[in-house]
Structure 1
């Protein structure tokens, strides 16, 4: 990863080896693992680091909070960084239900209530983009200083070409889950990643039931819903995407009143890992110069 010297690499190797065993994950000294209970009684975990104004990260499909470790370590020097394990993900409780956009949006609302007053920057990646937009649809943008949407469609223009046929992906999940998830995880990166790290992500991505994971990929909302939810947010928006979403990014830049748009041409879907230094620098600009904290 960019910017890591030998000592940082060693610490990361130790951390990811712990994740690969599915033991309770080790948390770096600067981080705290905290818990809260949602309004429907589900116990969720989040990582909490730093002090000051708050940015909240929501990971993608079946991913754990610690995938944002590059952001936690860099941004927490100046900001309070919170990274959520959504229900069924990371170390959070794995309930039987609640894997729908309305409940996931409410989970974010419950988290923000738990964190206390004041505005936050809410940052969602992949499925977390839809979770964040589900939150803004139900709660508005009153708690937001800004909204960060990382590499998912927001319903603008034409739908992007699918990465794979959903029905075939669902069949593969049901018939050979580990192989399918392992391949999906590897496809998220364009830069080499440590094997223990990839194995840890893969294992944690299989905590919820197969059918729950499929339900998460089958959100029953039309594309127009996501577009309307985005443009109902009048706070500043940072839309960071890979080239397949370039046309949507250009439309967001034209149509949103306070846009910041960036294309990560050389990165994979987990662009905040592939190009961590660049993404973190952009986040610093957004947090310090664009976000409406007042």
Structure 2
């Protein structure tokens, strides 16, 4: 389990096993590397080196009193990729992890990447006349207060969230430490910064193959965001996982794993 230190002095942990093309898995808000445990075995069996990141303030990584913004997360990803000397990697981000990948690409380009996969993350969370695929109910008018309550994730849309006990058991059986989610008041500025971003121009400029995926029953936004996002880049494609919500990699782990394996094999 490598530990690297970012250029602002924060220790980041990751799981790193297997050989072959690196597949870098970045979890969403509050989740740790173990959130990807159900994808580890299929990716390793397909002959890939699988690296799962604990972002700062998540999992086993450091929790500094600074850096609660997506741009910093993008730099953290660069520090990890550089420290591990990853080349030809496939970056896979779920939810905020996808925004982390786009922040990295915006800052550093795709020179060390062979491909990008996002799992149920719209590139623009604020709804607008030209983008009706944002977070349900989120507009410029309520952006400042929308995430200030403890139940912002209870949209009343999509499928039910995974049962915590069942998910914990499944992740442990797959070799992870179980389910964990560290959402604290200290990370609210990160969530707000995340919600303000618009990555459409970054998606359009990515010069490696891109796959945008969505959960058909996402609790946060319409699944149509996947096709609309892929349409921004001629090198992008999209797919929708039926029977899956926002955490498609947990709701339909076999389907997501197979999709990732096929995408990497196509490069």
Contact kept? 2:122, 2:226, Cα under 8 Å: no
Aligned with 1:257 (options 209, 234, 240): 234
Tell which structure's C-alpha radius of gyration is larger. Answer: 1
Tell me how far apart the structure 1 counterparts of residues 182 and 76 of structure 2 sit (CA, whole Å): 19
Pair 1:62 & 2:35 matched:
no
Match of 2:2 in 1: 34
Match of 1:107 in 2: 76
Distance apart, 1:148 and its partner CA: 0.8
Tell me how far apart the structure 1 counterparts of residues 187 and 97 of structure 2 sit (CA, whole Å): 14
Mapping for residues 151-166 of structure 1, pairs under 5 Å: 151-155=120-124, 157-162=131-136
Aligned with 1:231 (options 204, 211, 219): 204
- TM-score (normalised: structure 2): 0.81
Residues matched between the structures, number:
244
Tell me how far apart the structure 2 counterparts of residues 272 and 214 of structure 1 sit (CA, whole Å): 24
Contact kept? 1:157, 1:247, Cα under 8 Å: no
Distance apart, 1:227 and its partner CA: 0.3
Deviations 1:48-95 (A, max 9, x none): 121111010111111111010011122112100000000010000111
Distance apart, 1:197 and its partner CA: 1.5
Q: From the two aligned structures, give the one with the greater helix fraction.
A: 1
Judging changes above 3 Å, is the alpha-carbon distance between structure 1 residues 265 and 190 closer, same or farther for their aligned structure 2 residues?
A: farther
Mapping for residues 1-294 of structure 1, pairs under 5 Å: 33-77=1-45, 78-155=47-124, 157-162=131-136, 167=145, 169-172=147-150, 190=161, 192-194=163-165, 197=168, 201-202=179-180, 204-206=181-183, 209-210=184-185, 212-219=186-193, 222-223=196-197, 225-243=198-216, 244-289=221-266, 291=267
Deviations 1:252-285 (A, max 9, x none): 3433222231112311211011111111111111
Judging changes above 3 Å, is the alpha-carbon distance between structure 1 residues 236 and 101 closer, same or farther for their aligned structure 2 residues?
A: same
Judging changes above 3 Å, is the alpha-carbon distance between structure 1 residues 196 and 190 closer, same or farther for their aligned structure 2 residues?
A: closer
Deviations 1:153-194 (A, max 9, x none): 11383242427887364233xxxxxxx59989xx98655453
Contact kept? 1:190, 1:266, Cα under 8 Å: no
Secondary structure class of the residue paired with 2:187: helix
- TM-score (normalised: structure 1): 0.74
Structure 1 unaligned runs (5+)?
1-32, 173-179
Taking only aligned residues, the RMSD between alpha carbons, in angstroms, comes to: 2.8
Structure 2 unaligned runs (5+)?
125-129, 170-176
